[in-house]
Amino acid sequence: MQAEGYWIKRKKITEIEYGSSHIKYVIDNPEYYGTTAVYIKSCYQKYNEKIPLEGKGREEIIRTVISNGFIRVRHYVKPTDYWAVQCCDFENSKKYIINFINEKNLNMNSTMVITDIKDDKVYHFSYKNGEVYMI
C-alpha cells in the first residue's frame, strides 16, 4: 500500500495522487516549486541518474524545494506507523504543520518525525488525546 504524501506551502495543502510522488510533482510543475526544468535535469546529470530516479539528484531537488518554503509530508504505515515531515526552519513552519494536522484530522495516536533541513535537526512528537508531546 502506498503511503499518503503532501506538499504544504503556507496554508495550501497539496495531496500527492496515488501512484505519483513528491518528485514527480516538482518535475511536472518546476516553476510552482521555485525551480526550473534545467535545474532538475542538471541535478540528475550531476549524479549520472535518470529522471525521476529516487537517488542523490532527487534528494538535492527536494531539499531545494523545501528551502524554497515548501514542507514535505509522508505518512508511513509499515513497519511503523508515523508521519515524516521535512521543513526548512522548524520555528517558522510549526504553524503550517499544526494547520495540516488540524485540516487532515490526523490520528491522534500517531508519531510525527520532523526534520529541519536548515540544520538537520530532528524533532520527534507524539500526540495523544489532543495533546502534543515531544519525545
Measured distance CA(77)–CA(85) in Å, rounded: 14
The residue among 73, 99, 101, 96 whose CA lies nearest residue 3 is 73
pLDDT tier for residue 1 given thresholds of 50, 70 and 90: very low
The packing angle between helices 37-46 and 56-67, to 10°, is: 140
**DSSP class of 115:** E
What tens digit of pLDDT does each residue of 15-65 get?
999 989 999 999 999 999 999 999 999 999 999 999 999 999 999 999 999
pTM comes to: 0.91
Local confidence band at 132 (pLDDT 50, 70, 90 cut-offs): low
Domain range holding 23? 5-134
Q: Cell for 68?
A: 524554497
Domain count, the chain: 1
Per residue in 68-97, pLDDT (tens digit) is 999 999 998 888 888 999 999 999 999 999
CA dist., res. 106 & res. 99, Å (int): 11
110 contacts 135 by C-beta, under 8 angstroms: no
